[in-house]
Structure 1
């Protein structure tokens, strides 16, 4: 039987991206966590329209959130990384309005839905963190809408690559100037409202311009400042955030 990771030994908790927990918060977190769930690459973590009895924090691995439209077309809402919370919508509303699919082998910390109310009753600071996470997700979706409406194709892809790069660097996944990039061009296309052909052309152009390279399931950042300017983004760091 695989050993469950103790919150004391969480490899993410010590990363500078995440707000440190107090001793009492950590003790509650250890009681709040019910176990772990392994999802192989390609497996569904949450299915659109179904109920979920748990909330999850991604301990390792990556995934995509997506909505399937009545036409059969898929819209990728966001990419999911270690430290992200999954299932809050279905955990609170009772039914998921989107799916979450693992793109790599993914390990999840599980939190039973019914224990969320204990969090609000007994740990107001942790409850505030949960509210903050929901607010940040809303902010990100607003930024995504602005990107789809106001950035051209090259700027959209530059924006997505910078966002992914910064997040993975912030959790220590930078290795020799590159980070893991398990997403398909189809995933980028479905997220950014572009065709796969157009997405491929832009990625090739970014490589030829010495800005970024995607190869061997890795993203290499060749010129972060210039790619950020192209994406119409400031050279800011990732916001420090709570982790559940």
Structure 2
């Protein structure tokens, strides 16, 4: 087992008491679906910040739903440079690629203390064959990941530094809203400017200067990792696009 991660020691959150089920933007399960998911879930995994619980090039016998915390997907180049591909928040699924393709082509690291629901790959076909509604949910989650990667590619290829920074922060803010993590237009983001730089494909110096320009717009405030959207319309205008989540959205 990788240092920084541990099993639940029998302390597993019952699916019927799952805190995610209280989120109004997540779809409800019917009784049969909930009964199956209770059998599908076999454990919970706890991961310390900074630990990579999925690694590029390894086989993965499980897939996971984030129950609590933040993680990020990333790839490393041979010279040590890192590209962050995306972030995983509560209700997001990770490890599906490794479950279906037999091998991960990226790694996943915990950004905060992380709690994951554990599902065995061996039971995935049972889900697809018995519960088309849950199978559609997994397909939707996979398609959503493709959509998020598409937006990241647009940012890296065509958006200016200011636009891509504004869009990324708006995107993460909206996803945090989905997860019920935003209070009074404010959230404590767990990532650093280095994480942003590695996501945006910019140097740390360039990222810092761009953030200062964004703060000067008065659209947002960000101090001591506490991020506040002051003028949402202005942030959307700077980003050049809005982020409109689907509600209610699927999760497993």
Shared topology, TM-score over 0.5?
yes
Q: Which among 193, 196, 205 is matched to residue 197 of structure 1?
A: 205
Residue 50 of structure 1: which of 41, 54, 58 is its match?
58
Contact 1:58 1:81 in 2 (8 A): yes
Residue 72 of structure 1 deviates from its aligned partner by 2.3
Between stretches 151-160 and 231-240, larger displacement belongs to 231-240
**1:216 CA drift (Å):** 2.2
Q: Determine the C-alpha separation between the residues in 1 that align with 2:226 and 2:177.
A: 13
| Partner SS, residue 19 of structure 2 | coil
CA deviations over 1:2-49 (Å, ceiling 9, x no partner)? 621111111112312212111111111111000100001111120111
What is residue 219 of structure 1 aligned with on the other side?
Answer: 227
Check conservation: 1:75, 1:190, Cα contact below 8 A. yes
Are residues 1:130 and 2:130 paired? no
What SS is found at the alignment partner of 1:58? strand
Aligned to 1:66: 74
Q: For 1:118, which of 123, 126, 135 is the aligned residue? A: 126
1:150 equivalenced with 2:189 (yes/no): no
Aligned-pair Cα RMSD in Å: 1.4
Cα deviation 1:68-120 (Å, max 9, x = unaligned) = 12332111100111111000000111111000000100000000110111111
2:33 equivalent to 1:41? no
Q: Which residue of 131, 148, 155 corresponds with 1:140?
A: 148
1:190, 1:28 → 2: CA distance?
39
4+ long deviations beyond 3 Å: 235-240
- Match of residue 108 from structure 2: 100
Structure 1 position 236 matched with structure 2 position 241:
no
Superposition deviation, residue 187 in structure 1: 1.0
Comparing 123-132 and 107-116, the one that deviates more:
123-132
Task: Assess if the C-alpha contact under 8 Å between 1:170 and 1:238 holds in 2.
Answer: no
Aligned residues: 244
* Inter-partner Cα distance in structure 2 for 1:216 and 1:186: 14
Task: Give the CA deviation at 1:175.
Answer: 2.2
Structure 1 residue aligned with 2:178 = 170
CA offset digits 1:192-233 (Å, max 9, x no partner): 111111111111222222111222222111111110111011
Correspondence for 2:192 among 184, 199, 206:
184
Distance 2:15 2:240 in 1: 38
Scaled by the length of structure 1, the TM-score of the pair is: 0.95
What stretches of structure 2 of length at least 5 have no aligned partner?
1-8
Is 1:160 matched up with 2:161? no
